[in-house]
Amino acid sequence: MAGRAELSRTQAATLIANGNVTVNGVRQKASYRPVAGDVVVAEEPAVHEIEMLPESIPLEVKYEDEYLLVVDKPAGMVVHPAPGNWSGTLVNALMGRETDLPEGEMPDRAGIVHRLDKETSGLLIVAKTDRAHRILSSAIAARRVQRRYAVMIWGHLEGDTLTVDKPIARDPRDRKRMAIVINGRQAKTDFFRLARFGPGDLLRAQLHTGRTHQIRVHLASVGHPVMGDDTYGGGGGRKMVGLAPKRHFLHAAWLQFNHPITGAPMDIRSPLPDDLRTSLRIIGEGEAVALAEDPLAALGFYD
């Protein structure tokens, strides 16, 4: 079931346990072993509409006008509601501050132009009108929105630059993860080394595409996972570099795009949050650049 329906094993087991799956017209336990000729039928469970509720959650807004806003999302916040995270999301917070959002077909994702992983911090564009949402979504698809991330990896690149161009899709062995898959969707990321420290390198990553977990999967594929990334092999040693549980060293620090209505060039920046600055000081072992008031600017991230 998991493989054929592109579900996690837990999701497949839940469908079976809830009676949504039959074998030859009869409900079976998840442990049943199908044999040649069996007809397995899965019925899609009824979707219960989730009421979206406004919540009073502080947000750091870097830019706002009548058409859009740019939020500096903290690590630990989910962008939009999903199973296991029906509240406390960015969408709930936007509703709580009475932000005007487009009235699309998916109110739980209203205004969201692109996403960040839960434990990734940094800049996110939110559209406030349908027109702005259409234009911004098209700009991202056409790669006219420049998104750059600060990322710390384990180990050292062979050179100062690296481009990874490998297709990404759901991991066929674990549907909760992404992986390099031959017939996956095209994905390309450029990496530039900003600094080399004892345990690893600080990189600037620029997305050419926007696949789920793209930076994390690409770096893991070349043997240099993101520090603190439990999912893709970088979680070991997090205490040594001062990272909190479930926090990885990945921050969306720089956005450049044209305003969807006025066409004016937008250049919005976010310095490293306090937790990553603390980690950088530990990794840098007293190096002046790691102690700078704005380490990214000192390292030429915005050059």
Q: Residues 99-126, buried b or exposed e (16+ Cβ, 10 A)?
A: bebbeeeebbbbbbbbbbbebbbbbbbb
CA–CA dist 146, 257 (Å, integer): 6
Segments in 247-301 forming alpha helices (H): 274-284, 295-298
Q: What is the Cα 34 distance to its own chain's centre? A: 37
Strands 121-127 and 250-258: parallel
Q: Is the dihedral of CA 201, 203, 207, 208 positive or negative?
A: negative
Question: Which residue in the list 65, 100, 108, 117 is annotated as catalytic?
Answer: 117
Asked if 117 is an active-site residue, the reply is yes
CB of 267 closer than 8 Å to CB of 259: no
Beta strands in 65-165 (DSSP E): 68-73, 121-127, 146-152, 161-165
Cite the active site residues.
117
